[in-house]
Amino acid sequence: MPSQVSIENHCRFFRKKEMGCTAAAPTLVCVKRVKQDEAEEWDETMPLPGDIIEGFAAKDGDDDDDDDDASFVAVKGRSELSSHLGKMVQKVETIWVKVRRGDRTHKLRVRVVADKSYILHTKYTIRAARDDRHIAVLGDLTLEKCTTLQEMSRRIVNVAFRGFNRKEVKYDWKRKVDTYLPDQASTVVTSILFMPFQGEYYIEATISRCMAWFSAAVSSGVPLVFVNIQTEQIVTSEKTNQNGKEISRGGKQQNTSTSVELVQGIRLWFLPGVEQVLLEMIPEPGETRFGLDIKRTDEGFICVGEVTKGSAADRAGLQQLLDEANLTKHLLVISRLEGKSVMPSTVGSAGFIHCCDHDEIKDALASAMEGLDIIQLHIMAWPNQTRPETPQAIAPETLRPPKPPL
């Protein structure tokens, strides 16, 4: 944490004459984001989102002597720093900035560049010394926001571990998958990503929505099995022109720049049922439909609502499973159709669930029926479910190591 003296040197206080000593929340000069699409190319020698800029030194070269702190000039605000940078841009090729990350300070060699997002008044910022694309967007932020950005940068850069040198080894993926994944059309485990809403800065709100969605799905009868929950850093980008306005699709892409922002989402991992039962619907000449009606749940899952007696769906065992589902208060949920997932995948920042269009599924079934093609689908199974005669099923239990011989 920055010392009291450090905070006092870098905080801006907005006082009202009527209120005497009443002050607004103090702010620090901080890197808000960087204009660099390739987050995997970031490293600790570059300005990173969340870096608190404590000072700068107008010295060139590679000398970052830790004992030379006296040469660093403290900064109190973004505008003041921009003014200082403008005075140095023609004098030195590179400068040093002292930044704080957590409880440690780092000295970074950077270049001074014009901030092209400003047209009427020229302002200056910094970019990485060895990457022209890595341009910092500076701002006056509270310590809390700086700390949040630092945590996101730390997870992306992940500089904490430097193990032994790594080497590449060949792996026979095709043979391993054919041998050890019983049903190659099923991934066994799946997930859904929840994005934070606009203006949300606390991960607890996203976690609450995630678990509410999961509980609602299970309560409605979808036989999901909880596996894990994790935070996930998402890099979002926005293209802007020189006037700082967002470029619309189809517009000209000349003189544009890309602003990168990090947001923290929640990924929920779950099993689609205790296992996924593979069924084949085989049409017969003269039939015009497979004989199943589907519907979508509020949480975005596709389930079977009705099965026609004597149809291809009935012969595949769907009626038997639907009757049992009704007795056990479960839904007969389709997880995959022709090997493709029909489960919801994302909840966006506007709150909409990205899921499969059930009208498109109906069109796919109708097209297959016209050619009398066999359709394969996976059904989510619940505990102690009766199994119809099926080609195969996949469950976590089938992936356990074999028992040693007696």
Q: What is the pLDDT of residues 255-286, one digit of tens each?
A: 565 666 678 899 999 999 988 888 999 999 99
Domain for residue 332, yes or no?
Answer: yes
C-alpha distances (whole Å) from 288 to each of 156, 257, 315, 365 are: 53, 54, 15, 10
Does residue 326 or residue 183 have the better pLDDT?
326
Domain for residue 52, yes or no?
Answer: yes
User: Is the pLDDT reported for residue 254 higher than 60?
Assistant: no
User: Is the pLDDT reported for residue 15 higher than 70?
Assistant: no
Identify the pLDDT of residue 169: 87
Number of H helices, E strands in the chain: 8, 19
Total domains, the chain? 2
C-alpha distances (whole Å) from 238 to each of 69, 92, 229, 334, 345 are: 37, 32, 28, 36, 23
What is the average pLDDT value for the chain, to the nearest integer?
A: 80
If asked whether residues 69 and 187 sit together in one domain, one would say: no
Residue 154 to residue 54: CA distance in whole angstroms = 19
Query: Whose CA is closest to 378, among 287, 276, 245, 263?
Result: 276
Domain for residue 242, yes or no?
Answer: no
CATH number of domain containing 341: 2.30.42.10
Burial class for 144, CB neighbours closer than 10 Å (0-12, 13-18, 19+) = exposed
If asked whether residues 110 and 221 sit together in one domain, one would say: no
Which of 67-71, 338-342, 381-385, 391-395 is modeled with the greatest confidence?
A: 338-342
Looking at residues 357-382, what average pLDDT do you find? 90
If asked whether residues 229 and 139 sit together in one domain, one would say: no
If asked whether residues 193 and 124 sit together in one domain, one would say: no
Domain for residue 188, yes or no?
Answer: yes
Identify the pLDDT of residue 188: 82
The DSSP code for 377 is E
Residue 221 to residue 216: CA distance in whole angstroms = 9
If asked whether residues 205 and 313 sit together in one domain, one would say: yes
If asked whether residues 104 and 222 sit together in one domain, one would say: no
> Would you place residue 319 in the very low, low, confident or very high pLDDT band (cuts 50, 70, 90)?
very high
If asked whether residues 206 and 302 sit together in one domain, one would say: yes
Domain for residue 94, yes or no?
Answer: yes
Domain for residue 399, yes or no?
Answer: no
Domain for residue 14, yes or no?
Answer: no
Residue 386 to residue 381: CA distance in whole angstroms = 9
Does residue 115 or residue 273 have the better pLDDT?
273
If asked whether residues 127 and 219 sit together in one domain, one would say: no
If asked whether residues 207 and 286 sit together in one domain, one would say: yes
- Which residues partner with 222 through β-bridges? none
If asked whether residues 188 and 316 sit together in one domain, one would say: yes
Of the chain, the percentage scoring pLDDT greater than 90 comes to 40
* Segment holding 42, helix H or strand E: none
If asked whether residues 91 and 229 sit together in one domain, one would say: no
> Would you place residue 242 in the very low, low, confident or very high pLDDT band (cuts 50, 70, 90)?
low
Domain for residue 253, yes or no?
Answer: no
Q: Which domain holds residue 209?
A: 183-235+262-383
User: Is the pLDDT reported for residue 248 higher than 50?
Assistant: no
379: three-class secondary structure by DSSP: strand
User: Is the pLDDT reported for residue 19 higher than 60?
Assistant: no
> Would you place residue 247 in the very low, low, confident or very high pLDDT band (cuts 50, 70, 90)?
very low
If asked whether residues 145 and 212 sit together in one domain, one would say: no
